[in-house]
Amino acid sequence: MKPLIHSPVSPLKIILAMAFVVTCWGYSPTGIHIGLLAYDPVHLALLRFLLASVFMAVVALCRGIRLPGLRDVPLLFGLGFFAVSLHHVAINVGQQGVSAGASSVLAQTTPLFSTLLARFAFKDRVSLWRWGCVLLGLLGVLIVVAGDHGLGSIDAHGLLILLAALSWSLYFALQKHHTGRYDGLTLVCYTVWSGTLLLLVFLPGLVEQVAVAPLRVQLAVFALGIFPSALAYLAWAYVLAHVDLSRATMTLYLVPPTAMAIASFALSERPTLMVGVGAVVVLISVLALNLERRVVVQVANA
């Protein structure tokens, strides 16, 4: 019997998958901004992930996923809390006072918080280079927040976007240190479902808001639930299955400029010069963090 020969994956498919992910996640701040025209932040998060949960249930039925172990249930709810419930409620409330473009930049600070967690929560050694990257990134954050609506308008909304980024880094930390028994699709499904269950505390009042929301808002929220919250994760899992993680994450630096372009077209937002400068500073700091990690991995494997 001849052995099965796996045909190589087309680079074009990988590039298209990456472009799809960047576009979906770039749309998210604009979709949130439109959704907030008719929904309050908690109901917007709940409706978005009810849609995502139904979609992921269909995918799970078609593809098949394993049942979770009983001992993993608290962990899965922890993942859902940080990746879905806390992250999206914080980002929705925060975006009430932060532009879509600035929000996309602040949300990219997750690696900076991951570095702080590595040092203070997991007692990992953090190099001087990484501390410099964190300080540079925080400077960029200050520039973005100050430049979004002016120095005199700095309030807690920008801090809530940073709380969302911190929540995302806690999700990654939990995933890294406590999982490995589930494939990507299974983990995404249970994360989305558990986070949605936690959001059900905000169910009262949702039906009334759905009934009066205009069609434009309904379409924007539907797109939020299907594309950034479901399909993008499946496409990202496909990318990670065929591309090294450090190389794949480089494409995520295209999310803020994509988000700014979409917001400029859909919302007529024009980012200020300070927001642009702050965005460059933040992205350079995060890029420098990842470049150091690649060098460390290469040296370790040499």
- Domain ranges in the chain are 11-301
What was the pLDDT predicted at 152?
53
Query: CA 231 to CA 52: how far, in whole Å?
Result: 9
Buried b (16+ CB within 10 A) or exposed e, 201-219: ebeeebeebeeebeeebbe
CA distance 64 to 187: 12
Q: Please report the pLDDT score of residue 273 as a whole number.
A: 84
Distance CA 42, CA 39 (A): 8
Cα→Cα distances 167→56, 84, 107, 125, 215, Å: 22, 9, 10, 22, 32
Per-residue model confidence (pLDDT) at position 178: 64
CB atoms within 10 A of CB 200: 13
**Side-chain half-sphere exposure of 88, counting CA atoms within 13 A:** 30
Within 36-179, residue ranges assigned H as helices are: 41-63, 73-80, 87-94, 100-106, 110-120, 128-149, 156-178
What pLDDT, on the 0 to 100 scale, is given for residue 2?
A: 42
pLDDT in the model for residue 28: 95
Mean pLDDT by 10 residues, the chain (302 residues): 51 88 93 96 97 94 88 92 95 91 84 75 75 85 78 71 89 74 85 96 96 96 94 82 70 84 90 86 82 50 42
